[in-house]
Chains A and B, each alone.
Chain A
Amino acid sequence: MTPTPTPTPTPAPTQTTAPRQTALFAAHVARGAKLVDFGGWHMPLQYVGILAEHRAVREAAGIFDVSHMGEIDFRGPRALEAVQGVITNDATRLADGRALYTAVCYPDGGIVDDCIVYRRSAQDFRLVVNASNTAKDLAFFHEHAGQLCDIADRSEQWALIAVQGPDAPGIVAELGEASWLDLPSFAFASGMLAGVPVEAARTGYTGEDGFELFVPAHRSESVWNALLDAGTQPIGLGARDTLRLEARLCLYGHDIDETTTAFEAGLGWVVKLDKLDKTSFTGQEALAALKQQGRKRKLVGFRVEGRGIARPHAEILDADDRVVGQVTSGGPAPTAGGAVGMAYIPAHLAGPGDTIQIRQRGKVLTGRLVQGPFYKRDR
């Protein structure tokens, strides 16, 4: 890994290039991880088994190497203005050390990516983006805000380790700074952990409490091993997916993409058409019009009734057996029980408690619509 910030976009990983490896790759191989290609990266799918790893996060603490995610930094006197111009949420209300979740939209309102914006200082914002979108996002940011501040992909310099589960905050604070326990959700602070300078953010993608740790890539194995020694379990992308699905968190490329809008996806709360600082942003006009029109379809959550597991791409049928929608995420819910999923369906069919017919491979399953997450931790 060469920690050289590059102001120009790095080429997007394609099928023809070998999958990239994170700084922790050797540690995963040494631990016997089963690997999978994901978004151009060679990543752990599982270490011992998806169900056991899922349970470890719900009941104790697990650690995830999510270093494949992109870190794109906006720096300069007009960094806030630049960020505001490309995100749908409103970063003016962020104080230093606070973060928010947002969408990034095309001029037509389709979703470029979803990401978390961290305000490190008034002139230094970090956007953490989906791995497979990093190059696309960087090009988009340069196009729409590149003249306002320095925008650089620093993904190579940073490892990102998520520590999630009921025991996670205690373990992270014990190894790191006790003061991190006072950080509320979506706050972050720097400090030392296992002798390594890190930034600890109270964020995650599992429905559990925990932290995501930004660690200098070349020191990441020290942090990873210290967390393992403290009793955490390593968790692969397999359980990351079942955990986020139970918590009903969207996954870019499945539940949201350039053909979906934030309103349809239930992410209208991150679209601030009237920002405090009155700035405009890419996609604003289209989103204002879409909001006016009302949504024709809606991303719903469902629980499969009886036996069966609905999978992505299964078809949603109306009363006349016409295909009117599609499952975007679906699988077993190890903690909540049964099988759950998300699907786009026509808005008029989306009443709470309604049922939908789901056809896959010649069979029809019934899904009952559920509001909110399938799993919610005790607070």
Chain B
Amino acid sequence: MSDAVPSNLRYTRDHEWARGEDDGTVTIGITAHAVDQLGDITMLTLPEPGSKLETGESFGDVDSVKAVSELFAPLAGEVTSTNDQLDASPELVNAAPYGAGWLVTLRPTDRDSLSNLMDAIAYEKLLAETE
């Protein structure tokens, strides 16, 4: 992988990232590795704001040209917003998976649960093992 793994994010084995924000919410997206595996993304199905998610619960789909993949909640909480731009421009996820291609924000049930996720070093190790 040539794409660097940002050090300020937390990661899951399902190749999602999570970032704690100053307002107490957590922003969630998929990693550059996931994007590379999926190819061109053509549609995202995301939950309504207000939806309550349990850790590991399926909360949406990513459709690429070839296949559909499920999204799993990295931590429990209530969805506070979804990225509206992705409806018209799903390719933002390909172009900027850690930026404009974020998927949802949620208010975690337990903010400390973020620390249960992998840090960048652990995630890089996972990527090295799956290569």
Contact = CB atoms under 8 A, between A and B. Distances in A.
A220 interface: no
Contact of A332 (B45, B65, B94): B65
B15 to A, nearest CB: 17
A238 B67 contact: no
Interface stretch (A44-52, A105-113, A263-271, A277-285): A44-52
Contacts of A51: 40, 42, 65
Interface residues of A, number: 18
Interface string A311-329: 1000000000000000000
A50 B66 contact: yes
B39 interface: yes
Interface string B12-46: 00000000000000000000000000011011010
Interface in B62-86: 63, 65-68
B65 A311 contact: no
B39 A46 contact: yes
A379 interface: no
A50 B40 contact: yes
A311 B43 contact: no
A334 B39 CA distance: 14
B67 A311 contact: yes
B43 A238 contact: no
Nearest to B41: A51
Contacts of B40: 49-52
A238 B42 contact: no
A234 interface: no
A348 interface: no
Interface in A30-46: 34, 45-46
A52 B40 CA distance: 9
A331 B65 contact: yes
A52 B94 CA distance: 13
B62 to A, nearest CB: 11
A311 B67 CA distance: 8
A241 B34 CA distance: 22
A242 interface: yes
Contacts of B94: 49
Contacts of A242: 65
Interface string A47-74: 0011110000000000000000000000
Given A50-B39, A51-B40, A309 B66 contact: no
A205 to B, nearest CB: 17
B57 to A, nearest CB: 14
B59 to A, nearest CB: 13
Contacts of B39: 34, 45-46, 49-50, 238
A242 B66 CA distance: 9
A152 B34 CA distance: 44
Contacts of A309: 42-43, 63, 68
B66 A331 contact: yes
A116 B81 CA distance: 53
Contacts of B61: 361
Nearest to A239: B65
Nearest to B63: A309
B65 A50 contact: yes
Contacts of A46: 39
Interface string A325-342: 000000110100000000
A31 B125 CA distance: 28
B67 A307 contact: no
A154 B14 CA distance: 45
A307 B66 contact: no
Interface string A258-299: 000000000000000000000000000000000000000000
B83 to A, nearest CB: 16
Nearest to B64: A50
14 contacts: A46-B39, A50-B65, A50-B66, A238-B66, A241-B66, A242-B65, A309-B63, A309-B68, A311-B67, A331-B66, A332-B42, A332-B65, A334-B65, A361-B68
Interface of A: 34, 45-46, 49-52, 238, 241-242, 307-309, 311, 331-332, 334, 361
8 smallest CB-CB distances across A and B, nearest first, come from A50-B65, A51-B40, A332-B42, A309-B63, A49-B40, A50-B40, A50-B39, A332-B65
Given A45-B39, A309-B43, 18 more contacts: A46-B39, A49-B39, A50-B39, A50-B40, A50-B65, A50-B66, A51-B40, A52-B40, A238-B39, A307-B43, A308-B43, A309-B68, A311-B67, A311-B68, A331-B65, A332-B43, A332-B63, A332-B65
